[in-house]
Amino acid sequence: MRTLRGLRVASSHRRGSSRPIVVETAEGPFLTKLRGAAQGTAPLVAEIVVAQLADALGLNVPRRALVALDDDLECADRDSELTRLLAASRGLNLGFRLLEDARAIRSDDLERASDALACAVLWLDALVMNRDRTSRNPNMLVSARRVWLVDHGAALPFQYDWRRVTEDSPRAGYPLAGHLFGSRAERLREWDARLASRLSRAVVEAAVAEVPDSFLEPLLSRGVSLERRRRAYQAFLWKRLKPPRPFLP
């Protein structure tokens, strides 16, 4: 990913415990998720890994960049909470290229969605254990006649407590019925082999390698190296991909 310097805060948005901001850069506006938000850098790790895997599956995720925020960042909003958040987010943050004229996906879009799209999205979310794509919160946008996946910070939930991760943890199931495309679950097996073939070990390793050290360092337990933690992410996902995959119906 490219690293871009943030020039100005164009706007900010409240989304639950997070507050992403739109940052102007030399390459245009980026919706930027901040390292100083309530859950720290773990959601940023999940966003990067899932986006890389989505790319490999042929799904659309907005272009990513690391957005560097420093003391010279212009911000007209003097809200004290935002000021504190920006101060806690100095350094590298994660930006997504702002989609022009994007709108939330509608029920009629979902009904028309092909199995190629629906099953790939369902399969990916099951793989990365993302429960945050429901009818109430689709986390999908439509722009330029294409469907885009957004907001994967809730994926990879195992990273919040590595002490509880065992050899069996990667083989946990997934609640397919609660997913936005849960009604297509019975068709997953038709797509499973071709989707899995796109995620080789090299692809998984590259997805984890894309995460910058500064996102992983705050999450390290005492005595755990960056290399060891990267291997742990890779091993978890690779074991989850091992057939028979535990998330298939």
Contacts (Cβ under 8 Å, ≥6 apart) of 31:
20, 21, 22, 62, 95, 96, 97, 98
Contacts (Cβ under 8 Å, ≥6 apart) of 108:
none
Count Cβ neighbours within 10 Å for each residue of 2-31 and write b for 16 or more, e otherwise: eebebeebbebeeeeebbbbbbbbeeebbb
Q: How far is CA 104 from the centre of its chain?
A: 17
- Alpha carbon dihedral 224, 51, 249, 141, in 10-degree steps, equals 140
C-beta neighbour count of 62 within 10 angstroms:
19
The pTM is what?
Answer: 0.96
Q: Concatenated DSSP letters for 92-103? A: EEEEEEPPTT-E
For the beta sheet containing 103-104, the strands, ordered from the edge strand earlier in sequence to the opposite edge, are 103-104, 140-143, 146-149
Residue 109 carries which side chain, given as an amino acid letter?
Answer: D
Residue 86 carries which side chain, given as an amino acid letter?
Answer: L
| pLDDT for res 15 | 63
Q: Concatenated DSSP letters for 60-125? A: --PPEEEEEE-TT-EE----HHHHHHHHTT-EEEEEEEPPTT-EE--HHHHHH--HHHHHHHHHHH
CA distance linking residue 42 with residue 239, whole number of Å = 21
CA distance linking residue 118 with residue 189, whole number of Å = 13
249 residues of the chain, pLDDT tens digit each: 999 999 999 988 766 557 899 999 999 999 999 999 989 999 999 999 999 999 999 999 999 999 999 999 999 887 888 999 999 999 999 999 999 899 999 999 999 999 999 999 999 999 999 999 999 999 999 999 999 999 999 999 999 999 999 999 999 999 999 999 999 999 999 999 999 999 999 999 999 999 999 999 999 999 999 999 999 999 999 999 999 999 999
